[in-house]
């Protein structure tokens, strides 16, 4: 990305200044890194508390890819259950639980008069966990998305926002989460540290972090030891 920006700077130095390039890099790192890592942490936590789903995801990857090569981006479209897991995790624990929007004109929302320029906060967490919209919303059920892995779900599910103001990095984020999570599931067996369920308490922060960081123990799966040593 930096190389592309520097090449554009040579063609349009007045626009692509060092300040513009530096600002864009900070946005990409700030908006993409923390939210992606948080999503992966929540998803692994959910899978550890639901080992049947973790096993099902491993079986799907094994059935499609075997054990002779590591998962690649081009493999993701074949892994429908992995997509269901990611969607369910983003539904239960959206990385952006509250999304701000500024009203472009006077309007009425929920019976309240909203003036032009007012900052409105859309509570995605409440929408994603509304029992009027989702059956047993606090239950981890990736199967609810089976057959709808690549579909949009309107305003029922919008972890990246919606419309023209939706997150421009949605495609990149989904590929990154899918590739990292798929690789972790494919290559390692996972278990939580200590007895009992993983603590799913929510912390405070813009990206809805876990209150207690996830502590896990992992072992390379026997079929992938040689492959990992060559990676």
107 is in an annotated binding site: no
Between CA 59 and CA 133, with CA 201 as vertex, the angle to 5 degrees is 70
Residues 6+ apart with CB under 8 A from 53: 46, 47, 85, 140, 142
Instruction: Tell how strand 98-102 and strand 188-192 pair up.
Output: unpaired
Distance, in Å, from the CA atom of 39 to the CA atom of 207, rounded to the nearest integer, reads 9
Distance, in Å, from the CA atom of 142 to the CA atom of 56, rounded to the nearest integer, reads 11
Count of beta carbons in the 10 Å neighbourhood of residue 91: 26
Between CA 176 and CA 218, with CA 173 as vertex, the angle to 5 degrees is 40
> Do 115 and 64 meet the contact criterion of CB atoms below 8 Å apart?
no
Query: How is 6-18 classified by DSSP, letter by letter?
Result: HHHHHH-TTTS-H
Distance, in Å, from the CA atom of 52 to the CA atom of 141, rounded to the nearest integer, reads 11
State the residue for tokens 């998803």: 43
DSSP-derived secondary structure letter, 145: G
Q: Extract the annotated binding site.
A: 167
Q: Extract the annotated binding site for heme.
A: 167
């Amino acid at each position: 990305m930096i190389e592309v920006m520097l090449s554009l700077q040579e063609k349009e130095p007045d626009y692509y200044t060092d300040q513009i390039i530096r600002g864009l890099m900070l946005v990409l790192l700030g908006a993409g890194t923390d939210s992606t890592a948080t999503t992966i942490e929540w998803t692994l936590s959910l899978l550890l508390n639901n080992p049947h789903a973790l096993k099902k995801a491993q079986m799907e990857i094994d059935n499609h890819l075997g054990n002779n090569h590591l998962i690649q981006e081009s493999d993701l479209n074949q892994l429908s259950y992995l997509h269901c897991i990611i969607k369910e995790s983003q539904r239960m624990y959206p990385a952006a639980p509250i999304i701000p929007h500024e009203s472009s004109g006077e309007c009425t929302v929920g019976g309240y008069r909203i003036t032009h320029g007012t900052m409105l906060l859309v509570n995605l967490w409440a929408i994603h966990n509304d029992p009027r919209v989702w059956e047993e919303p606090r239950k981890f059920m990736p199967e609810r998305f089976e057959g709808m892995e690549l579909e949009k779900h309107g305003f029922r599910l919008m972890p990246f926002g919606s419309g023209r103001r939706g997150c421009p990095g949605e495609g990149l984020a989904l590929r990154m989460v899918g590739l990292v999570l798929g690789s972790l599931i494919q290559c390692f067996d996972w278990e939580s540290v200590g007895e009992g369920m993983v603590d799913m308490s929510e912390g405070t922060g813009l990206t809805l972090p876990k209150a207690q960081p996830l502590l896990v123990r992992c072992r390379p799966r026997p079929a992938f030891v040689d492959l990992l040593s060559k990676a």
